[in-house]
Structure 1
Amino acid sequence: MEFAAPLARLLLYGGATIAIGRGTLTFLDDDVGVSPPAVRGALWYAAGSLIIAPVLLLLLQQQALELTAAELPGLLRETIWGRGWLLLVIACLLTALMLPLRGTRTTSLLLLLSALGIAAAMGGLGHAAADEAWPLASRLVDAVHVAGVGAWIGGLVLMVLAGVGAGEPTSAAWRAFSRVATVMAPVVLLSGVASGWRRVGASGLTDILASDYGRLLLVKVALALVVLAMGATQRRRLSAGKAPVQRAVVWEVLIAALVLGATAWMTGMEPPGA
């Protein structure tokens, strides 16, 4: 069961990332659509993940608290975690229902709003919920971080998948997405720094290095910087009128997936000094 909680969170993060990416791409001038089979598969994966992950999280919480099935309604009604979980379930179900639909401006707006609702609800289930000094600000920063990752990395995943068996996305599509990534990359960086500072800012370097959370955080930061550098290289190519290097973009996505995995594992760890 050691891996159950990180797996549940990874399913949730992956599903939310793709959902936000899908909602973002629909508003670009040259949308990648949902017709390529690989894109449709990713959307169905995200929908399934958003249904399965909240159930797993509830069962794990029940097990951790040693509650019976009859006590679950009390958990959901009377605790901050329970109310946050209910909000998460509502947002996840709405998002899962709309993800496989072919996007119009209306449905895509609703999809994006419901996916952003997932981002907001996730702040109430992680470390931000335990931040007593700045509870609202901490949750807002985490929600902005999740939204930024979704618009950037989720969109990038779908752009890559759109080219599987269907030809590359057009240059116009890549340029439009590049404009989104250029805005969202700094948002992700700044919100990530702010969130990390709230978790470990009061700890010394020795304490950070001595904790599993701190060491994994440093690995996550290093991987995130690699993704940022790779993305910047591709944006320079697009600015010069060249197509992105497909292999490099795939590696960017794979390293970003490792960052999501590290985040899913870190959420269950105690920050140094907690």
Structure 2
Amino acid sequence: MAGQNFSSARRAASHAAAVFVFLLAVFVGTIGSALAHASLTNAAPADGSVLPAAPSALMLSFSEPVSPLVLKLVNPDRSVVVLDRYALRDTTLDIEVPPGLATGTHVLSWRVISEDGHPVGGSVVFSIGAPSRGAPPVADAVTDWSLRTAIWAARTALYVGLFFGVGGAFFLNWLARPSRHGARFIAGALLLGLIATIPALGLQGLDALGLPLGSIMSGTVWRTGYGTSYGATIVIAAAALLAGLLSLISGLFISRALSLIALAGIGLALAASGHASAAHPQWLTRPAVFVHAIGIGFWAGALVPLGLALAARAPGAEPALRRFSRAIPLLLALMVAAGILLAIVQVETPSALLATAYGRVLLVKLALVAALFALAAYNRWRLTTPAEQGNADATRRLARVIAIETLLVLAVLGTAAVWRFTPPPRALALAAAAPAHIHIHTDKAMADLSITPGHVGPVTASIVIMTGDFGPLDAKEVTLVLSNPEAGIEPIRRPAIKPGDGTWRVDGLTIPVGGRWTARIDILVSDFELVKLEETIDIRP
């Protein structure tokens, strides 16, 4: 009889694995691509600049494509003008300047949404004529900690529903039958997660628009939250949680199918948005998130029902423990491998573990996971075999250790929810490597100058030149002249070469200090005509 049960379980596991692989293949083939956490790389006018007259255009460039949410200009008299006329060109946002800008200090306040679903905001301060006397106008409020706390709580509750609830429903239907210990806890976790999806969507909209908690009832807030990539996560998560609930009240075949679909839904939901799923290469990181989430759900979901069954000495506790202990090594190995891969992609360098908030949160999570693994090893090598053989003392101790594991998993989930507010080191590195860029336009000629990377050290300058009416300009020579009078640096002159791709390039250039540099491009059009284009460019430290 035991052999028949094991054979049935093995066939069921084979079917589950087949469905799992199929869902994973569908996911890899159909999921849309996303890009990294965006950062501002260039602005015109430059931050802190003083212009002789009102600018002809406003421009914001980002490290990755974005979708604008809120654009506004705070005038010297602190009146606010909403900027709703703009054009998006790849990573650059061209904004129409409102008429009649007064002299004094203005603040261009922007808020955009990254493709990973996270909002990014900031301000660019510039002055016309001369800076205003006194403090500059205020554009953005301080961090809203009440909103952040609500976002963290909603996300943690959603994780509890997905990992403890959906994972627990899978354990009950595939490994624990006929035992139903923990079913009430699992149903409660599923309901908690399902309820959490509602405020989570609204809070996402509030954060995206930079609004306080009091604006939660606005329809625009909910539409904005749903329109981000996190909206897809919420929809998939809600479907997975609902399938998990239905699996608790359905017949054996339907309940197993529903719980399997719900388990796959954990991976699909978390891979639909977020820092890790948005990292490149997409074909590798999204499946890694999927596998990592499935492994956590399988492990975490088994803890409460298994611990309760062992504590109650239920008849089916030992067989359930035996099935779980046989299945967990492979899933644990896949989960760890996927986690290591994602950590390497996100952190990039060991120094970022301490140098960035993301890395420090990861260290806390790793410490908790290490404690979990230590307990799991103790369970497996010291308690599991005696408990499977019916040893009462080992069974009681195993139930107590599983309770501690459950608390540690809850701490891991709460820690992971903090990542919502910490851009990963890879995104920070991408922003740091972004070029500094300016556009200079006169009646005689125009030029686009990019200095890559846009910070101190060895750089490469790329120059594209055209006539003032956007026609081709076949120059005989192009020279780049950089100076920084405030730092006591006289002009650095470098001739540009034309490699054949339509651009002019300056190699072997080193910028010694950061700050505002004066960039002049000397264009020798003919033996008798020299056009000089000049503008300031900001170089990051």
- Normalising by the smaller structure, the TM-score range is 0.7 to 0.9
- Compute the displacement of 1:86 (Å): 3.0
Residue 81 of structure 1 deviates from its aligned partner by 3.6
Q: 2:335 aligns with which of 188, 193, 207?
A: 188
Q: Is the 8 A contact 1:185 1:228 kept in 2?
A: no
Change over 3 Å in CA distance of 1:170–1:101 after alignment to 2: same
Q: Specify which structure has the higher proportion of helix.
A: 1
Aligned partner of 2:185 in structure 1 is 42
Q: Please state how far the C-alpha of 1:41 moved relative to its aligned partner.
A: 2.5
1:82 to 224, 227, 231: 231
Aligned runs of 1:143-162 on 2, under 5 Å?
Answer: 143-162=290-309
CA distance in 1, matches of 2:231, 2:244: 20
Distance 1:60 1:137 in 2: 30
Q: CA deviation at 1:113?
A: 0.8
Distance 1:8 1:75, change over 3 A: closer
Question: Partner residue of 1:105?
Answer: 253
Aligned 1:1-274 pairs, distance under 5 A: 1=146, 2-18=148-164, 19-28=166-175, 31=177, 33-34=179-180, 36=181, 39-66=182-209, 68-70=218-220, 72-73=222-223, 76=226, 79-96=228-245, 98-101=246-249, 104-131=252-279, 133-163=280-310, 166-168=312-314, 170-201=317-348, 203-205=349-351, 207-237=352-382, 238-239=384-385, 241=389, 243-244=394-395, 245=397, 246-274=399-427
User: TM-score normalised to the size of structure 1?
Assistant: 0.84
State the alpha-carbon separation in 2 of the partners of residues 179 and 89 from structure 1.
30
Do the aligned residues in 2 keep the contact of 1:148 with 1:187 (CA within 8 Å)? Answer: yes
Tell me, yes or no, if the aligned pair for 1:209 and 1:215 is still in contact at 8 Å: yes
1:178-230: CA deviations, max 9, x gaps?
A: 112222222221111111112102x342x320222211211211221221121
Residue identity over aligned pairs, in percent, reads 28
User: What is the DSSP-based 3-state SS (H/G/I as helix, E as strand, rest coil) of the residue aligned with 1:236?
Assistant: helix
Q: Does the residue aligned with 1:185 lie in a helix, a strand or coil?
A: helix
| Residues in 2 aligned to 1:86 and 1:263: alpha-carbon distance in whole angstroms | 20
Question: What is the distance in 2 between the residues matched to 1:65 and 1:173?
Answer: 45
What's the CA shift for 1:42?
1.1
Provide the secondary structure at the position in 1 that maps to 2:425.
coil
How many residue pairs are counted as aligned between the two chains? 264
- The answer (yes or no) to whether the contact 2:208–2:224 under 8 Å persists in 1 is no
Per-residue CA deviations over 1:162-191 (Å, capped at 9, x if unaligned) read 345x43553222112111222222222111
**CA separation of 1:219/1:45 partners in 2, compared to 1, >3 Å: closer, same or farther?**
same
Does structure 2 retain, via aligned residues, the 8 Å contact 1:128–1:135?
no
Stretches (4+) displaced over 6 A:
none
State how far apart, in whole Å, the 1-side matches of 2:247 and 2:258 are: 10
Name the CA distance, whole Å, in 2 between partners of 1:255 and 1:267.
20
Encode CA deviations 1:61-113: one digit per residue, 9 max, x unaligned: 1111238414744764x5434344333333333334x1542561321221221
Higher RCO (C-alpha 8 Å, min separation 6) = 1
Larger Rg: 2
Cα separation, partners in 2 of 1:112 and 1:48, compared to 1, 3 Å = same
- Structure 1 pair 125–220 and aligned structure 2 pair: CA distance change class (3 A): same
Give, in whole Å, the separation in 1 of the partners of 2:178 and 2:354: 43
Aligned 8 A contact 1:20 1:112 in 2: no
Hey, what's the Cα distance between the residues in 2 that align with 1:82 and 1:4? Answer: 17
- Segments of structure 1 that go 5 or more residues without pairing to the other structure are none
Contact map agreement 1:20 1:151 (CA 8 A) in 2? yes
Gaps of 5+ in 2: 1-145, 212-217, 428-541
What is the RMSD of the two structures over their aligned residues, measured on CA atoms?
2.5
AA paired with 2:184? Answer: G
